[in-house]
């Protein structure tokens, strides 16, 4: 594996994690929801907006990857 493919894989992973975080902050669109208005409001405020009700009955979101605390705990254990 060469340097450029390593960089390309790192960038791909960063973009995917960024998109995942953005979807988590903004939420998914609901029927009749003004998504562009919520996106503009989020970008202007710099703070994530909370969604009052989520489709699916409020189930917990499945996390992809590991949290920083998990990575640090694993590094300390090694």
Structural domain count, the chain: 1
Please give the pLDDT value at position 52: 53
pTM for this model (two decimals):
0.35
Residue 37 lies in a domain: yes
Residue 46 lies in a domain: yes
Residue 74 lies in a domain: no
Please give the pLDDT value at position 36: 74
pLDDT in tens, 16-28: 888 888 777 777 7
Q: Which domain holds residue 20?
A: 1-51
Ramachandran sector of residue 58 (left: φ over 0; alpha: ψ -120 to 50; beta: rest): left
Residue 3 lies in a domain: yes
Q: Highest mean pLDDT range out of 22-26, 28-32, 67-71?
A: 67-71
Residue 65 lies in a domain: no
Please give the pLDDT value at position 50: 56
At 51, the pLDDT band (50, 70, 90 cuts) reads: low
Residue 63 DSSP SS3: coil
Residue 38 lies in a domain: yes
Angle separating helix axes 3-26 and 35-45, nearest 10 degrees: 110
């Amino acid at each position: 594996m060469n340097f450029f493919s390593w960089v390309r894989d790192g960038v791909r992973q960063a973009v995917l994690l960024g998109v995942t975080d953005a979807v988590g902050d903004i939420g998914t669109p609901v029927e009749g929801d003004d998504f562009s208005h919520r996106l503009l409001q989020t970008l202007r405020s710099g703070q994530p907006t909370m969604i009052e009700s989520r489709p699916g009955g409020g189930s917990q979101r499945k996390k992809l990857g590991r949290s920083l605390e998990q990575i640090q705990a694993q590094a300390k254990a090694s």
